[in-house]
């Protein structure tokens, strides 16, 4: 199983998501709190992104804000988490696309393409 995940995770996929889908991505991650996994299932993000949660809120209401670095100024800018038109590009490993939790990433209208293979 570990080898299978490693081989599949050698591929990174570039996905274009709306602000609403970005929020959904992090809400799925926050559901790990309900399962008792307060640290293990959190999505890992680069230092060019900031996610603020309110863990006292009910499921699907925990993501307060998501900010991303905007070049060339290098300042964090808020993503409109209600937008269905503004697009944001994220990179995800292949194993993430194969889970039921993140199945919405493969819906019609979501642009998914192989960006690179590491190794």
Question: What's the confidence (pLDDT) of residue 38?
Answer: 54
Q: Is the separation of the CB atoms in 68 and 79 below 8 Å?
A: yes
CB neighbours of 15 closer than 8 A, spacing ≥ 6? Answer: 89, 90, 91, 92, 105, 110, 111, 112
Structural domain boundaries enclosing 45: 2-117
Number of domains in the chain: 1
Question: What's the confidence (pLDDT) of residue 93?
Answer: 79
Q: Is the separation of the CB atoms in 64 and 54 below 8 Å?
A: yes
Q: Three-state SS for 51? A: strand
Question: What's the confidence (pLDDT) of residue 114?
Answer: 59
Low-confidence ranges of the chain (pLDDT < 50): 1-5, 40, 118-119
Round to whole Å and give the CA distance between 85 and 108. Answer: 14
Question: What's the confidence (pLDDT) of residue 99?
Answer: 75
**Radius of gyration over alpha carbons of the chain, in Å?**
15
Q: Give the pTM.
A: 0.77
Question: What's the confidence (pLDDT) of residue 108?
Answer: 52
Question: What's the confidence (pLDDT) of residue 57?
Answer: 92
Question: What's the confidence (pLDDT) of residue 105?
Answer: 78
CATH code for the domain of 72: 3.90.780.10
């Amino acid at each position: 199983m570990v080898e299978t995940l490693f081989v599949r995770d050698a591929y990174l996929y570039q996905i274009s998501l709306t602000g609403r889908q970005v929020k959904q991505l992090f809400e799925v991650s926050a559901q790990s709190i309900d399962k008792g996994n307060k640290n293990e299932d959190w999505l890992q993000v680069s230092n060019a992104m900031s996610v603020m949660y309110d863990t006292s809120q009910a499921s699907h209401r925990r993501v307060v804000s998501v900010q991303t670095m905007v070049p060339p100024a290098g300042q964090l800018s808020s993503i409109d988490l209600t937008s269905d038109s503004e697009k944001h590009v994220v990179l995800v490993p292949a194993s993430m696309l194969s889970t039921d939790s993140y199945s919405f990433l493969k819906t019609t209208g979501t642009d998914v393409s192989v960006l690179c293979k590491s190794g």
